[in-house]
Amino acid sequence: MEDNIQLLSIGDATVDVFMTPLESETVCEMDKKECKICFSYGDKIPVRNLEFTIGGNAANNAVGASRLGVKDAIVLTLGGDTIGDLIIERLIRERVDTAYVSRQSASSSNYSTIINYSGERTIFTYHAPRSYEFPVALPTAPWIYLTSMGETFRPFYNHFVDWLNKNPQIKLAFNPGTWQIKAGVEGVAQILARTQVLYINREEAEKYVNLPDSHGKEKELLTAAAKLGPKIVIITDGPEGSYVYDSAQNKFLKAGIYPQDCLERTGAGDAFGSGFMAAMIKGKSIEEAILWGTVNSASVISFVGAQKGLLKESEMLEWVERGKDKVKVEEF
């Protein structure tokens, strides 16, 4: 299958358990600064809904792209436990090639419990300590989507940079995670220099380029990020939509959001990324790729979990047609 792979997703996967407590069992004190959810100490707390799904940035991207007709594979390091078994089973069901997944029998897999309350999520997450294994034979797919890894990501990244240098024809999309943001620009400079598409949110971009309070300075923020190496910079900004800079065309684009009731926000960013990537792989314009990402994200937030609402290709075409009247993608 290697010769047919169009996209390779690299990063982490997890099993996510979503719990929705009864509102009568919660106390939310909300002011301008914070909201706290309280549970009675020592009590058994009734739960209205319980759902088990797989998640993690790489898994979400791979599943999202696969549903949109992209032939893809995933690179993961999992534990040798039943959680790892479940992750692989679900990926295979979604037609994602798992030939490049490594298993470490002495380790466990990542796991999260997510409390859903009023459309927002509180996440209890366990990242299993591990050393990420670089595959002996990595396929040379036209596109690679590199995303979040845990604290011990550096040795893998070093191997990956060496491999990229030997395969200059490969296009890289980079969606840094928490530890890659903490590493700063210096810690991922070689990756950024090789990046075709950088995908981050506003807060992450501000940290990378040291431009706090960038509201009203979107062009400055985008161009500063592009100077780090990426040819295309995508900055998402929650309800404000997204900002995109295409350095090859010196074009700044702004897109709003697709109006959609929100049930739960997990995976919205990953859905944008997989929609955008699938459109690019299929030769769509950057404007249409932004629209694909936007509507894919809108669909995901109307379901619980990061993957249930990911669109299939036939559904995407319908959403895009509707979205043309509801989402403006325009230069600014």
Model confidence at 14: pLDDT above 80: yes
Ordered domains of the chain (ranges, CATH): 2-13+56-108+128-331 (3.40.1190.20)
Mean pLDDT of 41-57: 88
Does this model's pTM top 0.85? My answer is yes
Q: Rounded to an integer, what distance in angstroms lies between the CA atom of residue 236 and that of residue 58?
A: 18
Model confidence at 203: pLDDT above 80: yes
Mean pLDDT of 50-72: 95
Q: Higher confidence at residue 52 or residue 71?
A: 71
29 burial via Cβ count (<10 Å: 0-12, 13-18, 19+): exposed
Model confidence at 25: pLDDT above 60: no
pLDDT of residue 197: 98
pLDDT of residue 296: 97
Q: Higher confidence at residue 262 or residue 278?
A: 278
- High-pLDDT (> 90) share of the chain, %: 74
* Three-state DSSP class for residue 171: strand
pLDDT of residue 1: 45
**Helix boundaries (H) for 154-228:** 154-166, 178-182, 184-187, 189-193, 202-209, 218-226
Residue 185 token pair: 């620009």
